[in-house]
Structures are given as structure tokens and as C-alpha cells.
Chains A and B, each alone.
Chain A
């Protein structure tokens, strides 16, 4: 492997001293396969309607296995969420999950993922938005779904993402004097000393 990508090199624990190893042994790197996408009928219908309904918001519609994925710029997020909830054609009234994925090593960005479900139309989707590594901040969706409250506090604890407009963004799962963001990839897993 002559042109190893930086992220691949960092992940490779056995080859930490890459410079000194003569002629790197060709590691068996299995070809990465992508999971097949099979959208159900209501998902297909949703993916068709979304670009038109959210035309003003620079969205990008994709899919992951059986869910529609909608990428939204961070500053449009709350408007998009509110429209997805209030528009009778979508009516996403249930926030299933809110989470952050750390892609700092790959792209220098965090990804915030919202899993939505509609009790009326029985369809589901993911809304995603990307935040920069330095001072990641985004508007809170607690005004749209109150259930986002603790999810956002937890993600603030673990990843240091700021949710602007959150009513009470204080530590939830970590002690209030905790230093660091243990959810991030660069936070060591076992960095304790025996006493």
C-alpha cells in the first residue's frame, strides 16, 4: 500500500512506526462493501416529495438501508424540522433519537442525526447536518419536539456540541466538574491509572 490515506494510517495500530518498517507487508484489507438500499413504498414516496417541499432549504436527499436521509445545512435545520413537523403531508410528530457522530478524523466535522417518525403517516426518516470541529454549535430543536431536551444535554456533555436556544444546557450524565468530551473519538477509552 504505497498511498495510504491519512485516516487509514492512523487507524492502523500495528504499524505505528510506519517510517522504519521496510516495504510494508501487504495487509489483507477487505474491500468495503456498502449495505444495500431497499426503500419501502412509503419511503420512496417521501423521497420524491421532499425536494419539492423543502426546495428553499438546499437539502440533499439520500437513503440508508430502509430510511430516507435528508442532509440539511446547519442554519436551515430548525426551519426544516418545524416544516417537517407541521406540514400535514409529512407530520413528523415523534422524535425517536437525536445523536452526534464524530467524523473529525475523516472530514474534520461532527454530524448531528435526527431520527423522525410520523404516527399519522407511519413513515420515518433521518435528518442530518454537519458541524465544524471547532466550536460546533447548532440551534436547539427543543422548541419543535420537547423530547429533544435531554438528548441535546447528553450530546452536549459527551461531544461538546452547543445547542443554541436550549432552555437548560447543563451537564446531565456527567459530573458538573468533568473535563473533556468522552464521546469523541480522540478521548481515550482506558486512560486511568490504578491506585
Chain B
């Protein structure tokens, strides 16, 4: 090209007048698997333009133990211990899923008192799990104080669990047909006293965080997902309800004695991070009310149905599910009539909720990715199994 020739296309224009601005390229940022904000061994590969996320690839499987395959080789009573280790911050809720699945298959009903003990334990566990969520979520945004208060309360719940089952976590307390043993005489009074303390603790967190200006800046309008998309992705639990879908297994397909109890399903409207947080605050309050109602219904009686020690369900297939703190945890069992399942598959709520992470984060900033992941409240033990 001669010097005086007119530019014929964009390319030649650029050669004549070089762009003074340096070219920018997208950068790959790796978060995890050993990163405190990923809440476990979870890795995200971010493609960022400056601070803005262009693409996100989640990598799971670092904790894959093949639990489902292991379950196929264990007695039904032994599987309960494996379920404890799925979602390891809401152990009772996991146990309830497997025992109710086997009970449904065998067509046995646990005694009414055992059902109420289970409900009380599960609701306490839901509060304990949500308390952990408030604290770690606040830490994700740099607020350390709430965690200290929440752990104080969570420790009280675990002390109660210890007095009932002998363990703070990994209880192995529920049995096919009931619970391991009756609760102590002072259980009811202790539970009621604990309810009051928890109510105070939840209010405290509410006052500390919910209306806090910095908190609002960081959470409202961030990571929005519509109810329709949330259903398409198979989300469940508080994440789905924050998007305005009133789906709660306790009401939708009542199990145990939840149909005798009166409680509300908190539902969000915007489907953003703030809604996902606040739905959990309201849910914990409902749990306190459920526990009080269940204690009022308690009557002396058996805690174990009259069934054989080694569960041997009939051949068939069953799908049972319960509302876990993280969502709809289900189990599909194929039985061939033996004392071990032929096939067992868990429907893991965290696994499904995590799928939507890419859609939620793209377009936001790196710091928001941490917040959005925090609101999904995943437990990797259950994501990877």
C-alpha cells in the first residue's frame, strides 16, 4: 500500500492510525478447590473481563466417595450411617429420608411419639443448618460478628442433640420403624427453653444483617433467577422459594406428621440474594413454631414399631423425599426383596442448586460470585456423594 492511498477497509485504517489504548484480553481466574469462600472442596473457573465475570465453569467431584454404590452393599440399617455423611450439617434430615423410604417400601408406620421426636430433631437441625448459613454468608461479605453469635446458638442445639443421640453430628439415631431410644425426661423442658433462646438468636441475626445498608448493597438485585428458570433447573428449597415458587415437600406431599402442624411457607418475590437470605430467616422462625407445636402434641408411648431387626423390604421401587434445609432431598430405592438395596440413588438438592450457578453469576463481579455461591448454601458432601 502506498503512503497516500485512501484506507479501503477497517484493517488498513488501523495500520495507519494505531489504537492508542492497549488491547484487553479476558483473564482466567481459578477459585478453589482449597478456597475458604467455596465452602468445601469446590472449584470454579472464572473467565473475567477486568472484574466482570464472562463465564464460569464449576468443577465438582473432589469429594466423590461413591456413596450410592456403597449403599448397595450395606444392610438398610447400615445405610443410615452413610446418609448422615451426605449433608453433614443436617444429619437428622438425611436420616429421615432413608428411614421413611424403607418404611414406605415395607409399609410400616412408626409410633406417633417417634414421629414427633423425629420432627423435633429435624426442625432443630434445620435451624442449626440455617444458623451456619447466616454466619458463613456474612463472612463471605466480610462481616465476622454474626458468625460468633450463630455458633453460640448452634452449639446449644448440638448439646441437645448430644443428650438425645449421644453425638453432636453423625447421630445414627433414626431407625427403620422408629428411633433408637426414647428421649430423656427433661427433653421437653430443655427444648422449650432452647426455642426461646433460638428465637432471640434469630432476631439478633435479623437485626444485625437484614436491614444493614452494606448488606443490602451487596445482596439486593444480585444473582436474580425467575421462578420459571428455577423450576427448569430443578432448584428446590429456600433457593426455589425465594423466586416465588411455594414448593415445600412438607406441605406438597406431607410426610411424617407434618399435616397435623400449622406453619407457613415463606416465599420471596425478587429471587435475588437478599430474598434467599431472608427466606431462611423466616423459615427458622417457622421451625421454632413447629417445634413448640410438636412438643405440645407429645404423649408417652412406644418409640419403635414391632418389626424385625434386619429390615427385609419386599421387592419394588420407591421414591421418598423430605424437605431438607437445602431443598428437596429424595432417595430412589430399587429392592429385589433382599436385606440390601439393588440400586439406591439420592436426589441431592445442593447438586441441583449448584447447576444454576453459571446462569446466576455471569455479568456480575468476582466478589458477587462469592455471595451468590453463599446463598446457594451448598454442602459438598451431598453434591459429590
Q: Which residues of A contact B (CB under 8 A)?
A: 30, 32-36, 64-67, 69, 93-97, 99, 101-102, 113, 115, 119, 122, 126, 145-150, 171-175, 182-183, 187, 189
Q: How far is the CA of A143 from the CA of B345 in the complex (A)?
A: 23
What string of 1s and 0s marks CB contacts (under 8 Å) between B326-369 and chain A? Answer: 00101010111100001101010001101100000000000000
| Cross-chain contact A97 with B330 (CB below 8 angstroms) | yes
Q: How far is the CA of A19 from the CA of B290 in the complex (A)?
A: 62
Residues of B within 8 A of A175 (CB): 61
Given known contacts A65-B104, A115-B332, is B234 in contact with A33 (CB within 8 Å)? no
Residues of A within 8 A of B69 (CB): 182-183, 187, 189
Residue of B nearest to A94 (CB): B231
Q: Looking at the complex, which one of B105, B316, B343, B345 makes contact with A97 (CB distance below 8 Å)?
A: B345
Q: Looking at the complex, which one of A30, A34, A115, A187 makes contact with B319 (CB distance below 8 Å)?
A: A115
Judged by DSSP, the binding face of A is loop
Flag the segment in B25-33, B131-139, B174-182, B307-315 that touches A: B307-315
Q: Which residues of B contact A (CB under 8 A)?
A: 60-61, 64, 66, 68-70, 73, 104-105, 107, 231-235, 245, 247, 252, 312-319, 321, 328, 330, 332, 334-337, 342-343, 345, 347, 351-352, 354-355, 384-385
Q: How far is the CA of A69 from the CA of B315 in the complex (A)?
A: 16
Q: How far is the CA of A95 from the CA of B233 in the complex (A)?
A: 8
Q: How far is the CA of A33 from the CA of B106 in the complex (A)?
A: 10
| Cross-chain contact B314 with A32 (CB below 8 angstroms) | yes
| Cross-chain contact A35 with B73 (CB below 8 angstroms) | no
B213 CB to nearest chain A CB (Å) = 36
Q: How far is the CA of A149 from the CA of B353 in the complex (A)?
A: 12
Given known contacts A35-B105, A101-B334, is B66 in contact with A182 (CB within 8 Å)? yes
| Cross-chain contact A35 with B318 (CB below 8 angstroms) | yes
Q: How far is the CA of A149 from the CA of B235 in the complex (A)?
A: 13
B115 CB to nearest chain A CB (Å) = 19
Q: Looking at the complex, which one of B66, B234, B314 makes contact with A94 (CB distance below 8 Å)?
A: B234
| Cross-chain contact A96 with B347 (CB below 8 angstroms) | yes
Q: How far is the CA of A42 from the CA of B232 in the complex (A)?
A: 23
Residues of A within 8 A of B105 (CB): 35, 65
Residue of B nearest to A155 (CB): B345
Q: Looking at the complex, which one of A33, A35, A145, A187 makes contact with B232 (CB distance below 8 Å)?
A: A145
Q: Looking at the complex, which one of B66, B312, B343, B351 makes contact with A150 (CB distance below 8 Å)?
A: B351
| Cross-chain contact B330 with A96 (CB below 8 angstroms) | yes
Residue of B nearest to A148 (CB): B234
Q: How far is the CA of A65 from the CA of B312 in the complex (A)?
A: 16
Q: How far is the CA of A170 from the CA of B105 in the complex (A)?
A: 35
Q: How far is the CA of A34 from the CA of B313 in the complex (A)?
A: 9
Given known contacts A97-B330, A146-B233, A147-B352, is B64 in contact with A174 (CB within 8 Å)? yes
